[in-house]
Each structure stands twice: as structure tokens, then as C-alpha cells.
């Protein structure tokens, strides 16, 4: 398989150049299935896990149809600021040879600065709440919008962004392409999406996480033994990078403090009360393997595609099955065990 396989999908020269520079060998399953449909102008609802290559599907389409300096032509929505930033950086990477004006926006970003910049934006990437706020204030024109992307839509609906999404879809031109991606889509969600996105095609691929390569263990212990069992496992299991999931940030702080005392590993935490800059630095350091273990709430369970994560510890079980699936899906990815 060579770069020719990407070329056969219809991806143009400037994006192909970046694909080659990044060392991509062949298209993934979601790219092979979705790109021909997307390039044909179809609306799609696709199930694809993080790390499956879905970002290239919608980024390459936006780059294909957008013109620099023509005004806002594409809106890409994601459920969290971390994901908005991650996709924004990937978009800028693929847009290396097509200088579009790309803005990343979310709650906490500087509104005053962004208000001025909105007049010159070609592609807007952000959370539905912030984009909806800007729309309600008439801070940008939507008449030239050709494509709207909803990524990780199940999380956006669960996070009560449903009314914002509906408002954005109804406010942007009827004649536009809508691309929807989700790790999981149940019957109710599919019915809801089909109602809002007419003439859409469902595209499903196998999950990126391979259950055959994922070994799950559980330990029945008394509550006052949990910390010592966790400390023992952290110290004695042969691991690459590890993530410990908890349900509350005070528990994250508690584990960081106590595990540092009882093990030789390096620990960091991320949670909602930390500044965005601090969270970004921690995630970057973790990806660069500057510490061993990330302790986090569910805010990091979705969308963080970090190589080398071999172990997931659920110190507290999540309230929903989907959250558990997303947590453990941070490992056993792309052929790794």
C-alpha cells in the first residue's frame, strides 16, 4: 500500500503532500468507506472511534471545498475544549499548503479578541455552546457555510448541547453538507440525528479498539484496602503509560498525594478546575512520556489519542456503561495490546 491509495480516494495534492510527510502508509477503514461518500457531497452519520482516522475524512473535505479569504465556510463542533484544540492542531497540520484562516473557540477563550478575528475566519472549530453564543450575537455571517461537522456527537448530546446543535444546524444554510461522527450511536440517537439531518447515509466500521487485545481484570477488595492494592499494582505491573480514572477531582488530588508517597512513579492530574493552559501542558507532557501516570476524571476519557498507554485503572467505576467503554478505549488501539 502506498500514497497512491490516498490519491485514488480523491484527496488532492496539497493534502497528499502532508500525508506523505507524516508517513501515513494506507487509508484506514473509515477513510476508505467515508471519503468517497463525503467527496460526493453526501450527508453522513458515521460510527468511528477516536484514533480511527476520521479527522482526515472531514478535514480533507473542508480543505477541498474552502477558499482562503472567502469568509466562514465550515463549522466543526466538538464536545470539549481539549478535543477542539486537538482537532484544531490537526486541521492546521493538514492545511499546511492551503493557508486558511482557522479559529478555535470554546468557553474560557478570550471573547473580545475573537470577536475581532471572526470577521476573517474561513473555518471555525469549537464547542457548540460558544459557537451558538456567537451566532446569537450575530458576530459572524453564515451565508457561505458549505459544511458543518459534528464530531463525538454522542458526548455533545449527553452534555446537553442538543439545543445548541439544533440552533446551529437551523441557522446555517439548508443547502450544506453535514458530517456526523460518533464512537457509539444507539437507535434513539440515530432517530434524532436522522430527523435533523435529511438524506444522510449511515457508515459503520469496526471499532479501533480490538477486544481480543484488551485484557480486563477486576479486584474484589474492602474499601479501606483499595489504595494499597492500587499502589501495589502501580509499582509491580510492567506498564507503559497508565491512566487512573476517578469520578471526582478531590479523589484525583487524594490519589496523587498518596501514590507519590508509596510508589516510585511520577504522577500528574487533570480536572475541570485547572486552567486550560495547565491542562494542555500536562497532556503534552504525558504524550511525551515525561511522567508515568495520569490521574483524571472523565474529561479525559474521550478523544485523547496518546500512544503508549498500556494500562487503564478504574479506581472508581463510572455511572454509565458508555463512559467505561470510552475509558478503557484509551488502550488496545491500532493493533497494540
**CATH number of the domain within which 68 lies:** 3.40.50.300
Shared domain for 239 and 288, answered yes or no, is yes
Q: Which three three-digit cell numbers place residue 290?
A: 515525561
pLDDT of residue 1: 43
CA neighbor of 105 nearest in space, from 121, 123, 138, 127 = 127
Shared domain for 219 and 177, answered yes or no, is no
Shared domain for 54 and 193, answered yes or no, is yes
Q: What is the mean pLDDT of the chain?
A: 86
Instruction: Name the residue range of residue 77's domain.
Output: 4-204
Instruction: Give a yes or no: residue 336 inside a domain.
Output: no
Domain boundary among 204, 233, 258: 204
Residue 213 has pLDDT above 90, yes or no: no
pLDDT of residue 119: 82
Domain boundary among 178, 204, 230: 204
Shared domain for 198 and 217, answered yes or no, is no
Instruction: Give a yes or no: residue 67 inside a domain.
Output: yes
Shared domain for 198 and 226, answered yes or no, is no
Instruction: Give a yes or no: residue 333 inside a domain.
Output: no
Instruction: Give a yes or no: residue 93 inside a domain.
Output: yes
Residue 164 has pLDDT above 80, yes or no: yes
Shared domain for 253 and 128, answered yes or no, is no
Instruction: Give a yes or no: residue 293 inside a domain.
Output: yes
Residue 10 has pLDDT above 80, yes or no: yes
pLDDT of residue 293: 94
Instruction: Give a yes or no: residue 58 inside a domain.
Output: yes
Give the mean model confidence (pLDDT) for residues 246-258.
93
Q: Tens of pLDDT along 12-40?
A: 888 999 988 887 878 888 899 999 999 99
Shared domain for 35 and 127, answered yes or no, is yes
Instruction: Give a yes or no: residue 335 inside a domain.
Output: no
Q: Tens of pLDDT along 124-156?
A: 999 999 999 999 988 888 999 999 999 988 888
Instruction: Give a yes or no: residue 172 inside a domain.
Output: yes
Shared domain for 149 and 216, answered yes or no, is no
pTM for the whole thing?
0.68
pLDDT of residue 96: 92
Domain boundary among 169, 204, 239: 204
Shared domain for 215 and 315, answered yes or no, is yes
Per-residue pLDDT band at 163 (split at 50, 70, 90): very high
Shared domain for 186 and 237, answered yes or no, is no
Distance, in Å, from the CA atom of 45 to the CA atom of 217, rounded to the nearest integer, reads: 34
Shared domain for 171 and 200, answered yes or no, is yes
- Output 215 or 159, whichever has higher pLDDT: 215
- Output 116 or 128, whichever has higher pLDDT: 128
What is the domain count for the chain? 2
Shared domain for 305 and 278, answered yes or no, is yes
Residue 264 has pLDDT above 70, yes or no: yes
Amino acid at each position: 500500500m502506498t500514497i497512491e491509495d490516498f490519491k485514488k480516494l480523491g484527496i488532492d495534492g496539497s493534502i497528499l503532500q502532508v500525508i506523505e510527510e507524516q508517513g501515513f502508509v494506507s487509508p484506514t477503514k473509515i477513510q476508505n468507506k467515508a471519503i468517497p461518500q463525503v467527496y460526493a457531497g453526501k450527508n453522513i452519520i458515521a460510527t468511528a472511534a477516536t484514533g480511527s482516522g476520521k479527522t482526515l475524512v472531514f478535514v480533507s473535505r473542508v480543505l477541498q471545498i474552502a477558499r482562503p479569504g472567502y469568509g466562514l465556510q465550515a463549522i466543526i463542533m466538538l464536545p470539549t475544549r481539549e478535543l477542539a484544540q486537538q482537532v484544531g492542531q490537526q486541521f492546521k497540520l493538514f492545511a499546511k499548503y492551503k493557508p486558511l484562516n482557522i479559529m478555535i473557540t470554546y468557553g474560557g477563550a478570550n471573547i473580545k479578541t475573537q470577536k475581532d478575528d471572526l470577521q476573517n475566519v474561513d473555518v471555525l472549530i469549537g464547542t457548540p455552546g460558544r459557537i451558538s453564543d456567537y451566532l446569537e450575537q450575530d458576530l459572524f455571517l453564515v451565508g457561505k457555510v458549505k459544511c458543518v461537522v459534528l464530531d463525538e456527537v454522542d458526548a455533545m448530546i449527553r452534555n446537553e448541547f442538543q439545543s445548541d446543535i439544533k440552533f446551529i444546524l437551523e441557522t446555517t444554510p439548508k443547502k450544506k453538507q453535514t458530517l456526523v461522527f460518533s464512537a457509539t450511536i444507539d437507535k434513539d440517537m440515530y432517530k434524532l440525528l436522522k430527523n435533523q439531518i435529511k438524506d444522510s447515509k449511515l457508515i459503520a466500521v469496526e471499532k479501533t479498539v480490538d477486544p481480543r487485545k484488551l485484557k480486563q481484570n477486576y479486584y474484589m477488595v474492602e474499601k479501606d484496602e483499595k489504595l494499597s492494592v492500587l499502589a501495589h499494582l502501580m509499582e509491580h505491573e510492567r506498564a507503559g503509560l497508565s491512566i487512573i480514572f476517578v469520578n471526582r477531582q478531590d479523589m484525583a488530588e487524594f490519589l496523587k498525594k498518596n501514590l507519590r508517597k508509596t510508589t516510585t512513579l511520577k504522577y500528574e492530574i487533570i480536572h475541570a478546575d485547572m486552567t486550560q493552559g495547565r491542562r494542555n501542558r500536562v497532556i503534552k507532557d504525558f504524550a511525551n512520556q515525561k511522567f508515568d501516570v495520569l490521574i483524571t476524571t472523565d474529561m479525559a476519557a474521550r478523544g485523547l489519542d496518546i500512544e503508549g498507554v498500556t494500562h487503564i485503572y478504574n479506581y472508581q467505576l463510572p455511572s454509565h456503561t458508555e463512559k467505561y467503554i470510552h475509558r478503557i478505549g484509551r488502550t488496545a488501539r491500532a493493533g497494540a495490546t
